[in-house]
Chains A and B, each alone.
Chain A
């Protein structure tokens, strides 16, 4: 009981063939290693963060603890013990008692983890009956308490709800209630917040932390985002390529990363929540904090860093990792290659900036069920200047994607107008339909799975009569090299590529048509932190090389802050704020913007302004309550 979870020297392998029970001796001729000698431990009441890029073996580690590995993956050697019980030697009956009873699990996509045809309440009834022998009234009572603990202000209503009626954040909280139902001693959390925005992420983390403190729960928290968990984790385990690269107390790993991989991870997290101090050595204890932003902009008077860094020049800047005010006493030093944004014409002092896209009082309404639904977009006026990067912020349902669809021309506005003034002569296309291109959120869905990538990239070029097969080939290869990929990749199918590679290819496909404007609709939200950073830097480079204007649609404050010149905030279909990025983050004016900025602030335990802007007021209250209680 006292020793918690201990994994020792765990080796997992993928049998060479597709899932088939005919693989004779367990290992096919080619057994590819998935995990090679992974060892880690989680003591009772300890919060351990398991960090790594996608594909590093984090999820497989969690699934092997649960004993629910996919059939084609086998445990080759090693041991997994929970409170003295050897999980790998336990039979199914024993494991069924342990799963849900002594350990609970949170998943990356909570909505898919509920049976769509059962209410949340009937889900909760299962572990309550199995592991605690509760039935009927007692079970219902307990279920309501669990939901209340998970931050639902109306637990009865949640218990009656079906999974599809819950938002992503609510579903994850319901999943937490479900995981806690068996009163486990260990919680496995597999990227429970990577699909959620920062506000919700913080709520969930606070709830988990709360449960940990109340019940002495050991937490193994899997994530690719180091910055997020850094404030909560006692220890950090860094994984890459199926091996533990580094592990130790959170403060040690974060302050003095030993491996290059950890440094990369930290650099990627620096984008998501870093504060950069001045390059000139600051007086001890009086670090001058400059947001990353001014460094990337054309330096203006008053910025301590004078002179424009050359594009791509490696620059050594000290980075303070977010959320480590009490931990990282000395600033962490990391070398970051800084891509430089070409400023919009206005800031470079060039002639008056020409507007390339303009929305005038645009309203779009989708009819649903004939009843008066609120418009997806209402009275939005917005303009994009040539060579500008405009960030569009908003939570899900705020009308961001509708905006993108209107701009590309897939939808037409019900009211108002959209004007495109494309730069004359510069673009060879002359075709209005291709001057604005879109990059989608989910790269795997953006390609036809039955076409090779080459065929997918060639398709938009086939429309053009003045393009021979050789020219097409040449242009595709150029575009692919432009996004820093090997053209050999083109003969693969989408299923054989990683998310990062595919997202680069969607960008390459968009570039093939020589667009003047590229709209990225949550283009990096599905990627892990390291890959996200690379794709963002690629976009910055294209922006500066090709004079591409960008519209970045995201719910991620840090992506917006990292990238854009100006920020537009959408809230319930209306444009509530439009400001220069620095002004916006320094002094947001609308209530919703204030809340967004507060949520993106590095220290998750810092006070956030309360207020009900599309959030579950109860959960906000609960987080605040937890903070004020001793």
Chain B
């Protein structure tokens, strides 16, 4: 984007929603540059928080409506449109520079786009299809009749009335275009094609949006690192760098040297400072001397982040697993993946511990113990687990209420507060952060007496 350009945009011609295919040729004063970026960041941060709380699509739409109005709204619609486009392109610069930043931005922007699209009425949605060069044609009456019965069946299976299907316009497209509808079985599939109702068309449109943005981010990254970064050394680069660091938490892949833990302490630490998800895995491991793959990954990376050194980790896992499968099988089948997690095997990537968002969105199967207790446990089991941690009474009710509204991380924050008797203002968004905060809190409590 030209920060200083010549032509004013013709805002009136612009559609209500943009795919951001080309950067605007428009003058932006440097103050606006930063202000616009921060406003959009507030929206994206809100979206990303909503996602990690496992909010349902309808709730996300409500949230986006609110966020957009608060941070991006302007009485003059063309101002809003300008700000939308400008802020988007600024944040592209900010978030193009590493894979983690790109992924975060991509996910938040895509969700934002989907919600904004779905907030339009069907008529506007349909008009936007033309604007977006949507490549699929509506099903003809003859084509429709052939599959009508099945379309009605799908419609009823997702709780809509049969009329919804009978009266809707349908599009036929490769199933890859609508992964989200495929995974929730919300479309009819026949020979590789998905039959997508007008009310579901946000799905392929969003996919198209994501594809375009993903490519654009890669390109922007190359351009920024090869040309602009140096040219803008004194002007944009400082702004861009400070913006990108402000809203993504640390990834907890590097534990502090001082926070190394030893095997002797691990049971005590697990009991005092592990978040419920890790306590559960830890206890199950001690009990069964075994954990399935998902559980091993979740716990082993957490322990790495906590500061368990590779040699200690191997000793720790071996001591448990060998009771069940024998030392030999441990060395043969399991040691590899522990070393792998520490970046000592295979691709040699130093893997990062799982965040709450990742854990909440995992799908544990039979015999699995990983995942987020607030999300994946039955109420009964969750209550039992929390009682064991010393949570009761009022706090328990509050936590259960958060769980019911699917605010899993808030539930975990409340648990932290109940267990430690101290408030946790930042909220819990990473098991390793829970651990660090817990150590800090316990340290504080201990100090006055020593």
Q: Are both chains from one complex?
A: no
Binding site for A on B (CB under 8 A): none
Binding site for B on A (CB under 8 A): none
